[in-house]
Amino acid sequence: MSVGPPEPAGLGEHHLALRERARAVARSVAPYAAEADAAVALHAKVREALAGSGLCDLVVPAEFGGAADRLDPLAIAVVREAFMYESAHLDSMFGMQGVGSYPIAVGGTPPVQRHWLPRVRALTAVAALALTEPDVGSDLRAVSTTVEAVGGDLRLRGRKSFITNAGAADFYSVLAREGEGWSMVLVPADSPGLAVTCGAT
Ligand SMILES: Cc1cc2nc3c(=O)[nH]c(=O)nc-3n(C[C@H](O)[C@H](O)[C@H](O)COP(=O)(O)OP(=O)(O)OC[C@H]3O[C@@H](n4cnc5c(N)ncnc54)[C@H](O)[C@@H]3O)c2cc1C
Tell me how far the alpha carbon of residue 54 lies from the centroid of ligand 1, in angstroms: 31
Atom of ligand 1 nearest to the CA of 175: 11
**The predicted structure's pLDDT at residue 40:** 83
Look at residue 8 in the predicted model and tell me its pLDDT.
Answer: 63
Q: Could you state, in order of their start, the residue ranges of all structural domains in the chain?
A: 14-125, 129-188
Instruction: Specify the fold of 14-125.
Output: Butyryl-Coa Dehydrogenase, subunit A; domain 1 (1.10.540)
Name the CATH architecture for the domain at 129-188.
Beta Barrel (2.40)
Q: Whose CA is closest to 90, among 142, 45, 145, 141?
A: 45
**What is residue 124's DSSP assignment?**
S
pLDDT band at 201 (very low <50, low <70, confident <90, very high): very low
Per-residue pLDDT tens over the stretch 76-87 = 999 999 999 999
Ligand 1 closest atom vs CA 128: 8
Q: What is the pLDDT of residues 48-82, one digit of tens each?
A: 999 999 999 999 999 999 999 999 999 999 999 99
H/E run at residue 122: helix 110-122
> Taking 70 as the threshold, does the pLDDT of residue 146 lie above it?
yes
Decide: 131 in ligand 1 pocket, CB within 6 A: yes
Best residue among 84, 91, 132, 184 to mutate for probing ligand 1's pocket (most ligand atoms within 8 Å of CB) is 132
Distance 183 CA to ligand 1 centre (A): 20
3-state secondary structure of 43: coil
Helix (H) or strand (E) holding 188: strand 181-188
What are the residues whose beta carbons fall under 8 Å from the beta carbon of 18, sequence distance 6 or more? 55, 58, 75, 78, 79
pLDDT score recorded for residue 2: 58
Query: pLDDT for 114-129, tens place per residue?
Result: 999 999 999 999 999 9
Does the Cβ of 132 fall within 6 Å of ligand 1? yes
- Ligand 1 pocket residue status of 163, Cβ below 6 Å: yes
Ligand 1 neighbour 161 (Cβ under 6 A): no
Reported as a pLDDT band with limits 50, 70 and 90, residue 134 is very high
